[in-house]
């Protein structure tokens, strides 16, 4: 099993504060004799009249020397995990969780918007200090509002 990301517990706590129940830590997927591990699996806690959503969350700190190198690696991992997730957990949505400063420095910039649009990457930002979700990108992907930043 892979090592946990530096922000693992922070993102876990932020999801719980945002109304998600952690169902897998990590979410194990197996395909073609290979095992893959997404950092977290979660389901939204909802009222009985509303169907819940299930998400898988891959946490990336973007702590390397190059944001572009980190983005390239994250995009490749995201694409692989999304393909396997679609086969092993139909109906689940994969998210990339990144610190809010990375959202500003990468995903709010033209290169990040291109990645989100062209590759249908779903991202959420989090505040590591306060352990809260700051925003979901694109905004319409989660029906319930997140905690204010």
Q: Where are the domains of the chain?
A: 18-45+52-141
Q: Which fold has domain 18-45+52-141?
A: Trna Endonuclease; Chain: A, domain 1 (3.40.1350)
Q: Which of 52, 127, 135 is nearest to 93 (CA)?
A: 52
3-class SS letters over 42-64: EEECCCCCCCCCEEEEEECCCCC
Distance CA 140, CA 15 (A): 17
Each of the 149 residues of the chain gets a pLDDT tens digit; together they read 667 788 999 999 999 999 899 999 999 999 999 999 999 999 886 544 435 789 999 999 999 999 999 999 999 999 999 999 999 999 999 999 999 999 999 999 999 999 999 999 999 999 999 999 999 998 755 544 444 44
């Amino acid at each position: 099993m892979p090592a946990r990301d530096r922000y693992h517990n922070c993102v876990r706590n932020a999801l719980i504060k945002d109304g998600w129940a952690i169902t897998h830590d990590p979410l194990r997927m197996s395909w073609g004799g290979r095992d893959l591990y997404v950092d977290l699996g979660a389901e939204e806690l909802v009222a009985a009249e509303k169907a819940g959503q299930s998400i898988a969350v891959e946490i990336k700190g973007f702590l390397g020397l190059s944001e572009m190198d980190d983005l390239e690696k994250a995009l490749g991992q995201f694409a692989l995990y999304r393909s396997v997730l679609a086969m092993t957990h139909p109906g689940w949505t994969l998210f990339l969780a990144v610190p809010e400063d990375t959202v500003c420095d990468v995903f709010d910039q033209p290169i990040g918007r291109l990645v989100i649009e062209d590759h249908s990457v779903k991202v959420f930002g989090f505040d590591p200090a306060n352990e809260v979700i700051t925003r979901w990108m694109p905004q319409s992907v989660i029906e319930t509002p997140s905690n204010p930043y």
